[in-house]
Amino acid sequence: MGDSESFVIVGAGMAGAKGAEALRDQGFDGRITLLGDEAHRPYERPPLSKEYLMGSAEFDAAYVHPETWYADNRVELLLNTSARRIDRSLRQVELADGTRLEFDKLMLTTGAHPRSIPVPGHDAEGVLHLRRAGDSDRIKQTLAGIEDLVVVGAGWIGLEVASAARQAGVGVTVVETAELPLLQVLGREVAEVFSTTHRERGVSFRFTTAVDEILAPSGEVTGVRLTDGLQIDAQAVLIAVGADPAVELAAEAKLRVSNGVLVDATLRTGDPNIVAAGDVANAFHPLLGKQIRVEHWNNALNQPAVAASSMLGGDASYSELPYFFTDQYDLGMEYLGHVEPGGYDEVLFRGDVEAREFIAFWISEGRVLAGMNVNIWDVTEQIKTLITSGTTIDRQALGDPSVPLNEHIAR
Alpha-carbon distance of 392 to 242, in angstroms, equals 35
Asked if 133 and 59 touch (Cβ cutoff 8 Å), the reply is yes
In tens, the pLDDT along 200-247 reads: 999 999 999 999 999 999 999 999 999 999 999 999 999 999 999 999
pLDDT band at 391 (very low <50, low <70, confident <90, very high): confident
Query: How many Å separate Cα 404 from the centre of its chain?
Result: 31
Alpha-carbon distance of 140 to 231, in angstroms, equals 25
Beta bridge partners of 214: 224
Asked if 275 and 269 touch (Cβ cutoff 8 Å), the reply is yes
Question: CA torsion sign, 346 to 352 to 354 to 359?
Answer: negative
Alpha-carbon distance of 301 to 16, in angstroms, equals 9
**Looking at 193-342, which runs of residues are DSSP E strands?**
204-207, 211-215, 223-226, 231-233, 236-239, 243-245, 261-263, 274-276, 281-285, 290-292, 323-328, 331-337
Does the pLDDT of residue 178 top 60, yes or no?
yes
The set of long-range contacts for 98-101, using a CB threshold of 8 Å and a minimum separation of 24, is 101/6, 101/8, 101/33
In tens, the pLDDT along 127-147 reads: 999 999 999 999 999 999 999
Q: How many CB atoms lie within 10 A of CB 133?
A: 17
Q: What is the DSSP letter of 61?
A: G
Question: CA torsion sign, 66 to 43 to 61 to 19?
Answer: negative
Give the contacts of 380 (CB within 8 A, at least 6 positions apart): 323, 334, 336, 373
Let me know the angle formed at the C-alpha of 409 by 406 and 183, rounded to the nearest 5 degrees.
95
Over the chain, what is the mean pLDDT? 95
Average pLDDT of the segment spanning 362-368 = 95
Give the contacts of 181 (CB within 8 A, at least 6 positions apart): 154, 155, 158, 159, 174, 191, 194, 195, 198, 205
Average pLDDT of the segment spanning 345-351 = 96
Phi, psi angles (nearest 5°) of residue 370? -160, 160
Out of 196-210, 381-395, 397-411, pick the least confident. 397-411
Phi, psi angles (nearest 5°) of residue 133? -60, -40
Asked if 34 and 75 touch (Cβ cutoff 8 Å), the reply is yes
In tens, the pLDDT along 29-57 reads: 999 999 999 999 999 999 999 999 999 99
In tens, the pLDDT along 238-275 reads: 999 999 999 999 999 999 999 999 999 999 999 999 99
Does the pLDDT of residue 163 top 70, yes or no?
yes
Q: How many CB atoms lie within 10 A of CB 9?
A: 33
Alpha-carbon distance of 74 to 366, in angstroms, equals 51
Give the contacts of 217 (CB within 8 A, at least 6 positions apart): none
Cα 341 to Cα 186, 200, 362: the distances in Å are 8, 27, 11
Q: Are strands 127-128 and 261-263 parallel, antiparallel or unpaired?
A: unpaired
Output the pTM of the full model.
0.94
Of the candidates 139, 303, 123, the one whose C-alpha atom is nearest the C-alpha of residue 220 is 123
DSSP string computed for 146-186: -SEEEEE--SHHHHHHHHHHHHTT-EEEEEESSSSTTHHHH
**Which domains are present in the chain?**
6-113+243-311 (3.50.50.60), 116-239 (3.50.50.60), 330-398 (3.30.390.30)
H-state helical runs in 29-124 = 51-54, 69-72
Q: What is the pLDDT of residue 410?
A: 53
Q: Are strands 357-364 and 367-374 parallel, antiparallel or unpaired?
A: antiparallel
Does the pLDDT of residue 305 top 70, yes or no?
yes
